[in-house]
Structure 1
């Protein structure tokens, strides 16, 4: 009996270091990187999606004994193994967007979750993604307001939140996104007026706000050139149709010399068409129908020789002769 106990004790003393080491390795591998933990936690909250089959344990790195998500579907990493892109468009994801811990991804540059069935709200902590350059959450069922903290994403080039159930107003903090070239907020339930701070987005090329519940006037800042209001001279697309925007068409829009498409139809616009619109010689599309615009069509419209699609119907306009008209 004593010999048996001595052998058992010797066995434990001999293998104890190996057992301890093995336990540490498993614990480390299971804990993994914070990014992998956040992704696995989010996956667990979603309805089963075949596209996320690769998001599983173990996926260990022999040198660090940590879980690496870098080869998981839709995930890209930098040379240090940190996640820089999450791209899962139309992947059949169903669940809450706000179950994804955005602060866990300090090096994220691109986030595309468009065309899924994500619900919930856009959490305020999305504003911690300071390196983010593109954010596409379009075509989901996301509700609530656009968080003020989204204005912290100063490196954003593209922001697409269209085709959701977003409400409340457009936060003025969007005016902080000075590098933004594309802004799509169309087909939501956004109300209130267009904040004048949008005029600060001097690099904006495409602005789409149509089919919301926007009210108030079109801010003159959208077309003004003074540095205090920004310079939107690069804007090529401006969609504001199917809202409840009132007031007159600001003549400053005539400063947007690169504008190719201007759509203002189905609003509550009043007053005359400003002659300055005749400065937009690159226009191919101009839709202003179903408003309450009055007066005559300015003769300067004869300068719009590139127009392919013009509709001014369902207003109270009179037509004068347009010299050199190409329309």
Structure 2
């Protein structure tokens, strides 16, 4: 809907729910909205209302339970400083992205409030006495108010007894204040993208005992000597300044992300706690300085994501997917010092979508035995010691779901694998697939797979791999012979690189069929 609401209406005395959100409604909010005696839910969010919204008039909506005005940045809110509201039934208030510059005074008196969203505003100060009457608050979202100062007042008890979720991400917070550490009922705490400094030691063992989910990524923490959070299930500590050895998370942990830090030493065997009823499902230790061999126990755990890239791990890759019904979907061992052959147990990873083994010292031939994996979309073997001809077996599938293949900077030889090129169905029919990322889509807020792709001679880091993206890079090997005509049937290819080989003959005219192609490199051959 577009335009403004009528200035007068009648006959709506029994109206209980009014939802006008996500439209293009503009103009002032008409006064008749505040005279609907039966109204329980009012949603005006994500519109283009402007002018003054008189909060004092809300007192006439005595039955109101839900009010959403979010994403109306042109509205201005006014309220009498001594206003006394009787909105005893109002449980949910959404004022996100409303250009509010200070904590709304009328909120202090909403004793029945359970959910309060003030995110994406310009509020700079939060004080204890603002919440004295909000003892029923369960969810409080103050994220993206920059900078936000949480002032502690020792004379005021600021414990919200049933507060379940607290969101304070992107607020330029610099410390873990008493306001944070005294909320004993918290189960969900989001503190990412702040400037919280210092260390977490055993001196801070009196907070977060009931936390199930904690986001502390993108801060300035330097040391983690102790985990106060004994019930934690989701622990996200990536992109800090953490140094020293890796401390295994509590046994209850199912998601453990501590990437982009400065951790060193070996991975403790206690990370595979056999006595725990839970087990880590998502493990991201990437971009650290960890070293040594990977514990064999990781292959026995029911991992869905294992990202160990950009470390100094060495030795043989342990067996993965050795238990029945393996869950592994993403295995990223890129840029380490692994050697030896690939473990044949990888053929048991029937849910595997991404296998990145690039930039190691793995010495093996092409793993044709992975061709039967029904969901494999990404296979990266670049910059390792893979060698020999790329042969296939008549009794095997031929990577029919593969969308990204990177064999560059290796020692493969012989002819280009015509049989595989003919059967790469995943590189043919991607024009109408949805624009979503590879991996467990429901959990993108936990983890996004990254990948380096060489396009037009430049290495580009993809932060997230769209399932509509397709690329093939077989450059810098020892391939010979001609380019098969069947390459022209890979209609969804966006990147094709056969450069720096020993290819001869003509460039096939079928390459003209590759309408999606953005980067083509056939240089340094004998074409």
TM-score under structure 2 length normalisation: 0.44
Q: Of 355, 366, 379, which residue of structure 2 is paired with 1:183? A: 355
CA distance in 1, matches of 2:499, 2:480: 12
* SS of aligned partner of 2:299: helix
Kindly state the Cα deviation for residue 120 of structure 1 after the two structures are TM-superposed.
0.5
Change (3 A) 1:67 1:284: closer
Please list, as runs of the form range in 1=range in 2, the aligned pairs for 1:269-280 lying within 5 A after superposition: 269-280=479-490
Q: For structure 2, list consecutive stretches of 5 or more residues without a partner in the other structure.
A: 1-196, 211-227, 238-250, 428-469
Alignment correspondent of 1:304: 514
Residue 113 of structure 1 and its aligned partner are, at CA, apart by 0.7
> What is the distance in 1 between the residues matched to 2:200 and 2:347?
36
Distance 2:306 2:203 in 1: 22
The answer for the alignment partner of 1:158 in structure 2 is: 330
- The C-alpha deviation readout for 1:160-187, integer Å capped at 9, x for no partner, is 1101111112222111111001111111
**Change in 2 beyond 3 A, CA 1:127/1:294:** same
Quick check: 1:121 aligned with 2:121?
A: no
Instruction: Check the 8 A contact 1:98/1:122 in 2, yes or no.
Output: no
| 1:255 is the counterpart of 2:423 | yes
CA contact (8 A) 2:234 2:253 kept: no
Aligned to 1:35: none
Greater share of strand residues, 1 or 2?
A: 2
Q: 1:197 matched to which residue of 2? A: 369
Q: C-alpha displacement at 1:270, in angstroms?
A: 1.5
Q: Are the equivalent residues in 2 in contact too, given 1:55–1:73 (CA < 8 A)? A: no
Per the alignment, residue 172 of structure 1 pairs with: 344
Whole-angstrom distance in 2 between the partners of 1:306 and 1:182: 23
> Partners in 1 of 2:403 and 2:287 — Cα distance?
25
Q: Which has the higher helix share?
A: 1
| Within-5 A mapping of 1:192-271 | 192-220=364-392, 228-230=395-397, 232-252=399-419, 253-259=421-427, 260-271=470-481
TM-superposed CA distance for 1:98, in Å, is 4.8
Match of 1:87 among 257, 266, 275: 257
Please say if residues 254 and 278 of structure 1, whose CA atoms lie closer than 8 Å, have aligned partners that are also in contact: no
| Other-structure match for 1:135 | 306
Any gaps of 5 or more consecutive residues in structure 1?
1-48, 76-80, 318-327
**Relative CO higher for 1 or 2, CA cutoff 8 Å, sep ≥ 6?**
1
- Give the CA deviation at 1:308: 1.6
Give CA deviations for 1:96-153 in whole Å, capped at 9, x if unaligned: 0254442435522111111111000112121220x21110011111011101245548
Task: Provide closer, same or farther for how the CA distance between residues 180 and 51 of structure 1 changes in structure 2, counting only shifts above 3 A.
Answer: farther
Using structure 1 for the length normalisation, give the TM-score.
0.70
Dislocated runs of 4+, deviation >6 Å: 58-62
